[in-house]
Chain A
Amino acid sequence: MFTGVMVNTWIAATAVAIIAGVTGFFAVLRGSTFAAHAIPNGAFAGAAGASLLGLNPFAGLAVFSVAGALGIAGLSRRSRPDVATALTFVMMLGIGALFVSWSSQYAQEAYSLLFGEVFGVSTDEVLPILVLGALSIAAIVVMFRPLMLSSALPEVAAARGVPPRRMDLAFLLVMALATSMTVPVVGALLMFSLMIGPAAAARSLTARPVLAMTLSVVIALVTVWTGIVASYQSNWPLGFFVGILGAAFFLAGRAYAAIRRDRTERSSDRPANPGLVPG
């Protein structure tokens, strides 16, 4: 399990879990879960287009995920963010359907893009994942404070001169960057599950931002490592284990938060401070 090709799998999966834990934390905090679903899934259209033209699928993924981020941010200026995301997303998928209908042998490739091929990671694929992962983590570290402020308290951030729309666009671009390299390896569906489940669980466990982000990364790592072991043993797809484990962690986190809230409410008269805990 720890030899040969599997070493690449462990490295790639660990890098992806760290990226997903960090970006997912902000996606959940900002309420951009729909965008976190739309950008990786819609970007597959780019890979379809690139394979049609005989280009590197990475290029297509990068172009389409950035275009998706720009589309969502642009349309959100004067429409509701969820409507903007939905329309950008269906447009990308519509173009994807067109590309796929033009090429004849794409079905198998589309399947692997949606569900990933984490057990077939080559050394050539590991390097770009690590570089882009480091880049997107660095981008989040650099803009950590304003991003945090504009996610948790948008009005205060705006009053302090943090432009909300520019922050929104910056975050979506980081998500697009993280997406475009991870999708061919782990698949669009797994990337989404790995971003939302652990981050949502972490947020219901603690209200302190740095701790919650760390927890989110830890839970994502545990999820993906357990998933790889289970998938290796059973031969069932990794996406299944990651999806189910993410939801299980979320439910466990919610149960813990509910018990704790119950206890604090009983011990004191004043209501518990909800802080960053969804409520």
Chain B
Amino acid sequence: MHYIFEPGFFASGPVHVALAVGTVVAITSAVVGVFTVTRGQSFAGHSLADIATTGGSGAFLVGINQFWGYLAFGAGAAAFMEMIGIQRRRGRDVATGVVLGAALGLAALFLYLGTQYSTTTGASFTILFGSIFVLTPSTVPALIASALLALATVAALARVLLLTSLSPDIAAARGVPVRAVGAAFLMALAVSVALSAMIIGAVLSTALLIGPAATALRLAKSPVQAAITAAVLGVLAIWIGIVLAYDSFYWPPAGRGWPVSFFVVTLIVGGYLITYLRRDRQSAPQENVDAEQACSPA
């Protein structure tokens, strides 16, 4: 047992918080991720994480709670993307890219001003990669509340979301307000991504959003099954990642622990590759849907 769990693993306060928060974030990201992947909005999902971190550094600069910076920039960017045409498949990636480019410009300015005044050269780095072990327990209730909000939005919209993702024309003909549904989903995505980016960093946020969902969509036969599989995979990845990161404290070469994000990302991408290579030999009907949509000009 000691070979797997280093002594002190179960008694460590930061580990408890990391495990609890990691579980909540993994489940929310996985469920929202299933719809994100189905709708082909991975780029938006990643961009919102990057943009939210810009808001975080802006809030840091003016001295208000970072939580509001993350949320405001995430939601604002989502509204902006929606306005300039993310709802059209063709112009979507470009609109996302332009908003991301502008936000990254702001990030450069905020970090420049921030480092000029406080000389925290490591700030840009923490903002990108986050650190799950230095969470304060007081942020946990707010996190859980907003995760529930995002989950509830997606659950309430699940049926129409699937319909509008798979065939927007049929949905429109049936009287579904396609654009409003898309906007509501983008908001839910922004909230969930902004929070996960604040807690685990932009990199892990994207990994947990896309990886488990994409793997689950290759395995599962129904959307509900996919959501459950994705949640299980996401939780497993973050738990094993945290255990390994804790264990790695005495590993070479530096002797101060390998980053959690490395382990979690490796596990997630590894899991995807296993299903990817397995499906190589047998062509599954599930994939025809995927391939069909991938072929439509983006």
Task: Decide if A94 touches B203 in the complex (CB within 8 Å).
Answer: yes
Which of B46, B101, B272 makes the CB contact (< 8 A) with A243? B101
CA distance A81 to B294 in the complex (A): 7
CB closest chain-B residue, reference A249: B98
Whether, in the assembled complex, B159 has its beta carbon less than 8 Å from a beta carbon of chain A, the answer is no
CB within 8 Å of B: which of A140-178? Answer: 154
Whether, in the assembled complex, A59 has its beta carbon less than 8 Å from a beta carbon of chain B, the answer is no
CA distance A98 to B256 in the complex (A): 11
CB distance from B25 to the nearest CB of A (A): 15
CA distance A97 to B258 in the complex (A): 9
CB closest chain-A residue, reference B279: A78
CA distance A203 to B95 in the complex (A): 13
CB distance from A243 to the nearest CB of B (A): 2
Over the window 6-49 of chain B, the binary record of Cβ atoms lying under 8 Å from chain A Cβ atoms (1 yes, 0 no) is: 00000000000000000000000000000001001111011100
CB distance from B229 to the nearest CB of A (A): 16
CA distance A33 to B258 in the complex (A): 31
Contacts of B211 in A (CB 8 A): 86-87, 90
Task: Decide if B210 touches A279 in the complex (CB within 8 Å).
Answer: no
Over the window 101-112 of chain A, the binary record of Cβ atoms lying under 8 Å from chain B Cβ atoms (1 yes, 0 no) is: 111100110110
Which secondary structure characterizes the binding site on chain B?
A: helix
CA distance A203 to B104 in the complex (A): 22
Contacts of A251 in B (CB 8 A): 84
Contacts of A154 in B (CB 8 A): 295, 297
CA distance A246 to B100 in the complex (A): 11
Whether, in the assembled complex, A250 has its beta carbon less than 8 Å from a beta carbon of chain B, the answer is yes
CA distance A240 to B58 in the complex (A): 13
Contacts of A135 in B (CB 8 A): none
CB distance from A220 to the nearest CB of B (A): 12
CA distance A3 to B85 in the complex (A): 44
Task: Decide if A86 touches B206 in the complex (CB within 8 Å).
Answer: yes
Contacts of B253 in A (CB 8 A): 102
Task: Decide if B203 touches A90 in the complex (CB within 8 Å).
Answer: yes
CB distance from A182 to the nearest CB of B (A): 15
Task: Decide if B262 touches A97 in the complex (CB within 8 Å).
Answer: yes
Task: Decide if B112 touches A236 in the complex (CB within 8 Å).
Answer: yes
Q: With A34-B43, A87-B211 in contact, is A278–B91 under 8 Å at CB?
A: yes
Contacts of B97 in A (CB 8 A): 28, 33-34, 36-37, 192, 196, 200
CA distance A126 to B298 in the complex (A): 36
Whether, in the assembled complex, A31 has its beta carbon less than 8 Å from a beta carbon of chain B, the answer is yes
CA distance A86 to B108 in the complex (A): 23
Whether, in the assembled complex, B150 has its beta carbon less than 8 Å from a beta carbon of chain A, the answer is no
Which of B88, B96, B129, B272 makes the CB contact (< 8 A) with A33? B96
Q: With A78-B291, A244-B102 in contact, is A196–B94 under 8 Å at CB?
A: yes
Q: With A86-B46, A189-B108, A240-B108 in contact, is A246–B102 under 8 Å at CB?
A: yes
Over the window 255-289 of chain B, the binary record of Cβ atoms lying under 8 Å from chain A Cβ atoms (1 yes, 0 no) is: 01111011011101100100010011000000100
Task: Decide if B93 touches A247 in the complex (CB within 8 Å).
Answer: no
CB distance from B247 to the nearest CB of A (A): 15
Q: With A93-B265, A279-B88 in contact, is A83–B107 under 8 Å at CB?
A: no
Which secondary structure characterizes the binding site on chain A?
A: helix
Contacts of A97 in B (CB 8 A): 129, 203, 259, 261-262
- How many residues does chain B have at the interface if contact means C-beta atoms less than 8 Å apart? 70
Contacts of A28 in B (CB 8 A): 94, 97
Whether, in the assembled complex, A60 has its beta carbon less than 8 Å from a beta carbon of chain B, the answer is no
Whether, in the assembled complex, A114 has its beta carbon less than 8 Å from a beta carbon of chain B, the answer is yes
Whether, in the assembled complex, A85 has its beta carbon less than 8 Å from a beta carbon of chain B, the answer is yes
Whether, in the assembled complex, B136 has its beta carbon less than 8 Å from a beta carbon of chain A, the answer is no
Over the window 62-97 of chain B, the binary record of Cβ atoms lying under 8 Å from chain A Cβ atoms (1 yes, 0 no) is: 000000000000000000000011001011011011
Task: Decide if B42 touches A247 in the complex (CB within 8 Å).
Answer: no
Residue with the greatest number of chain A CB neighbours at <10 A, chosen from B93, B129, B262, B298: B93
Contacts of B254 in A (CB 8 A): 101-104
Task: Decide if B94 touches A247 in the complex (CB within 8 Å).
Answer: no
Whether, in the assembled complex, B139 has its beta carbon less than 8 Å from a beta carbon of chain A, the answer is no
Whether, in the assembled complex, B192 has its beta carbon less than 8 Å from a beta carbon of chain A, the answer is no
CA distance A111 to B211 in the complex (A): 27
CB within 8 Å of A: which of B234-262? Answer: 253-254, 256-259, 261-262
Q: With A87-B269, A94-B262, A196-B101 in contact, is A33–B93 under 8 Å at CB?
A: yes
Task: Decide if A31 touches B298 in the complex (CB within 8 Å).
Answer: yes
Contacts of B109 in A (CB 8 A): 236-237, 239-240
**Interface pairs (27), CB distance under 8 Å:** A33-B94, A34-B42, A34-B46, A34-B93, A37-B47, A79-B214, A80-B37, A80-B294, A81-B294, A82-B298, A83-B214, A87-B211, A87-B269, A90-B210, A90-B268, A102-B253, A111-B115, A187-B108, A196-B98, A196-B100, A196-B101, A197-B98, A242-B105, A243-B108, A246-B101, A246-B102, A247-B102
Taking A79-B290, A87-B207, A244-B106 as known contacts, 18 extra A-B pairs with beta carbons closer than 8 A to each other, sorted by chain A number, are: A34-B42, A34-B93, A80-B37, A80-B42, A83-B210, A85-B42, A86-B206, A90-B206, A97-B259, A107-B121, A192-B97, A197-B98, A200-B97, A237-B108, A243-B103, A246-B105, A251-B84, A278-B85
